[in-house]
Amino acid sequence: MFNRLEISVLPPGPRWAAQLSLRIDGAEVVAAATGEGGRGPLAEQALPADGQGPLWATEGGRRVVLGEPECTGGCCGYLSVFVQRHGRIVRWSDWQVPADEARPPTCHFDAEQYDAELTRALATYTS
């Protein structure tokens, strides 16, 4: 069974520009790892207008920074994941988490649903 990704754009706040909320199977994954005052990926970087953001899965894969705690990633570490496309499956694996946080499990997404969710989030953000 596949995991399900949901992306929403949070409005800008006093400290951060608009950022993304990433839910996997209904659970907010970034806030759980970055804690109070942390931030998720900045929408402008994760969902650029040209559609070639870091969350798009490729065969070669790439490490994607998903957030950092309030004290900054340079202090306690970043939340990041390796995103890779394996045919009709997108895999998020090899999580790296800020100090003392639990590491999320490897996730497998249906590539069609994953791409559709990124496309929907991009259209919502850029419109």
| pLDDT tens, position by position, 87-116 | 999 999 999 988 777 889 999 999 999 999
The burial class, CB within 10 Å (0-12 / 13-18 / 19+), for 115 is middle
| Mean pLDDT, all residues of the chain | 88
Distance, in Å, from the CA atom of 125 to the CA atom of 111, rounded to the nearest integer, reads: 21
| pLDDT band with cut points at 50, 70 and 90 for residue 74 | low
Share of the chain above pLDDT 70, in %: 94
* DSSP assignments along 50-115, one per residue: TS--TTS--SS-EEEEEEB-TT-HHHH--EEEEEEEETTEEEEEEEE-STTPPPPPPEEEEHHHHH
Distance separating the N- and C-terminal Cα atoms of the chain? 33
pLDDT at 11: 85
Per-residue model confidence as pLDDT tens digits over 11-41: 887 777 888 999 999 999 988 887 777 778 8
Query: Is the pLDDT higher at 42 or at 73?
Result: 42
